[in-house]
Copies of this chain bind each other. A is one copy, B any other.
Amino acid sequence: GQRRLQGDEVVHDLLVTLEEVMQGCTKHVKITRSRLNPDGRSLRSEEKVLNVVVKKGWKAGTKITFPREGDETPNNTPADISFILRDQEHQQYKREGSNIVFTAQITLKEALCGCTVNVPTLDSRMMPLPCSDVIKPGAVRRLRGEGLPLPKSPSQRGDLVVEFQVIFPDRIPPQSREIIKHSLAQC
């Protein structure tokens, strides 16, 4: 028989949560594809579950290919199916490579007078982060090793970066304002 060409690769996005990237996971993806019947001409529709293994720390854009698991036609051998990892938005963190960034909102009083911020970790602990110095808006502190596993060396981990956002009061009563003015004049 004549050699059949292969159909075009089918590419799907595969959303993963940071928790899944943290632990590694296997995603079971059900696909529907056409397969050639034994008569070599008619097609049937077939369901199959592909087990997509996502290893610890893998980054968005990583491509996982299943050769020849796609549609088959009388003229084409089955196409490849590929999945491209995409990070699902997280409620608490932004991902930056192997680091995760947590925005800690603190009040102006806390920023100036000290506070302890409770930072949630990826494994659901609360890490107390004592802040005694003045915290400037946009300042960062790093909790080393509390980020995502490094894809090429998953026993090591990136950082949890805490980025401070300082919430100002909407207004300050005139009396307090005078006192603050006087106190800050010495800084």
Contact of A109 among B111, B133, B168, B180 (CB under 8 A): B180
Interface flags for A97-137 (1: CB within 8 Å of B; 0: not) read 00000000001110111100000000000000000011111
A176-B171 CB under 8 A given contacts A113-B181, A181-B109: no
Residue total for A at the interface (Cβ-Cβ under 8 A)? 31
Please name the residue on chain B nearest to A111 by beta carbon.
B168
Given A112-B177, A177-B112: A137 and B168 within 8 A (CB)? yes
Minimum CB–CB distance from A115 to chain B (whole Å) comes to: 10
**B187 touching A183 by the CB < 8 A rule?**
no
CB distance from A178 to the nearest CB of B (A): 8
Chain B residues with Cβ below 8 Å from A133 are: 171
19 cross-chain CB contacts under 8 A = A109-B181, A111-B168, A112-B172, A112-B180, A113-B177, A113-B181, A114-B177, A133-B171, A134-B169, A134-B171, A135-B168, A137-B137, A137-B168, A172-B183, A172-B184, A176-B183, A179-B183, A180-B184, A183-B183
Distance of A181 Cα from B79 Cα, bound (Å): 67
- Residue A40 CB within 8 A of the other chain: no
For the complex, give the distance between the alpha carbons of A168 and B178 in Å: 18
Q: In chain B, what residue has the closest Cβ to A167?
A: B136
